[in-house]
């Protein structure tokens, strides 16, 4: 998640697919989603705690929203997509 935050700070060119920067930003956000899902699954398997896995998912969702906004998406749109 730290890598995504750093990438967001460097890449404020939006998240639309009609530009190279936008496509790269989307790739970063998609990577964050994949990594969050994998981490939450690993936590669930290791701890058998749905609460702990849900906490990982919520932290990932918050990071997604922060990163998408930093990249130029509206907060509203980031929250809709981050559900």
**Residue 36 burial (C-beta neighbours within 10 Å; 0-12, 13-18, 19+):** buried
Return the pLDDT at 62.
Answer: 96
Provide the pLDDT for residue 63: 95
Instruction: Give the end-to-end CA distance of the chain in Å, rounded to a whole number.
Output: 17
pLDDT digits (tens, 9 = 90+) for 1-60: 556 555 555 556 677 878 888 889 999 999 999 999 999 999 999 999 999 999 999 999
Number of domains in the chain: 1
pLDDT at 12: 60
pLDDT in the model for residue 68 = 93
Domain that holds residue 11: 2-81
pLDDT at 7: 55
- pLDDT at position 8, please? 52
């Amino acid at each position: 998640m730290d890598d995504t935050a750093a990438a967001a700070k460097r890449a404020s060119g939006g998240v639309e697919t009609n530009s190279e920067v936008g496509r790269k930003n989307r790739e970063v956000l998609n990577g964050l989603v994949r990594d969050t899902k994998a981490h939450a699954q690993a936590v669930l398997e290791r701890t058998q705690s749905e609460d702990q896995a849900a906490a990982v998912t919520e932290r990932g969702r918050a990071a997604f929203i922060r990163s998408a906004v930093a990249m130029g998406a509206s907060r509203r749109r980031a929250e809709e997509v981050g559900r």
